[in-house]
């Protein structure tokens, strides 16, 4: 399977960076074709410009500022997102990726506004590998937006046909070496058996 891995964390020595390495190595070992997209390392700009917003609905011209990312997304059969939760949301870098790349003509067809159609029908699998500073019950109280973005919104863009899995380590502020190691092993198993 062609897997686009989207990683969003600025620190190369972080636990998220270690998870990212596990994701990529296990997917490759399982025989998948991996396109490893490290948003910070690639210098992706999360900021939508005034010009981009004005041309947002002008398909296919709207794709030109992020053409290479659009092409990578359209080649993929599976998406794996690896990121931390900050302020109970996606990191700004990843949110900007969604804002700038998941646009009309790419993620959805809005040519008939009363009947918006999903356009990411090439995607069969979606996976989130996510960390949280706070406990699960606090994330639940806040509505857990990252979980809903990965498991609901992205699935909606595939027409509901993609299977979505979500692997979360909650309460990183109280993490122990044992809990971190157990989560790494859980992620490794999930990537090794992705189908």
104: CATH: 3.40.50.360
Residues recorded for the chain: 195
* CA dist list (Å): 64 to 76, 93, 120, 156: 19, 19, 18, 24
Q: Count up the domains in the chain and report the number.
A: 1
Selection from 89, 82, 103 nearest residue 39 by Cα: 82
DSSP state letter for 121: T
Q: Which of 79, 102, 77, 94 is nearest to 131 (CA)?
A: 94
Report pLDDT digits (tens) over 99-156: 999 999 999 999 998 999 999 999 999 999 999 999 999 999 999 999 999 999 999 9
Give the mean model confidence (pLDDT) for residues 162-169: 98
Please give the Cα distance from 102 to 95 (Å, whole number): 10
Tokens of 193: 């058996």
The backbone torsions φ and ψ at residue 21, rounded to the nearest 5 degrees and listed phi first, read -65, -40
Q: Kindly indicate the confidence band of residue 31, based on its pLDDT and cuts at 50, 70 and 90.
A: very high
115: domain range? 2-192
Mean pLDDT of 33-42: 98
């Amino acid at each position: 399977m062609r897997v686009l891995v989207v990683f969003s964390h600025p620190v190369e020595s972080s636990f998220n960076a270690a998870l990212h390495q596990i994701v990529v190595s296990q997917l490759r070992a399982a025989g998948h074709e991996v396109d490893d997209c490290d948003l910070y390392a690639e210098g992706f700009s999360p900021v939508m410009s005034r010009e981009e917003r004005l041309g947002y609905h002008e398909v296919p011209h709207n794709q030109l500022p992020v053409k290479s990312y659009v092409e990578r997304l359209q080649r993929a059969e599976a998406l794996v997102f690896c990121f931390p939760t900050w302020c109970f949301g996606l990191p700004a870098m990843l949110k900007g990726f969604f804002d700038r790349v998941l646009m009309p003509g790419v993620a959805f067809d809005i040519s008939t506004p009363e009947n918006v159609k999903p356009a990411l029908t090439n995607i069969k699998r979606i996976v989130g590998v996510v960390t949280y500073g706070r406990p699960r019950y606090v994330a639940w109280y806040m509505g857990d937006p990252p979980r809903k973005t990965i498991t609901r919104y992205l699935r909606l863009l595939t027409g509901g046909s993609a299977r979505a899995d979500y692997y979360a380590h909650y309460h990183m502020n109280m993490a122990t070496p044992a809990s971190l190691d157990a989560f790494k092993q859980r992620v490794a198993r999930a990537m090794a058996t992705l189908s």
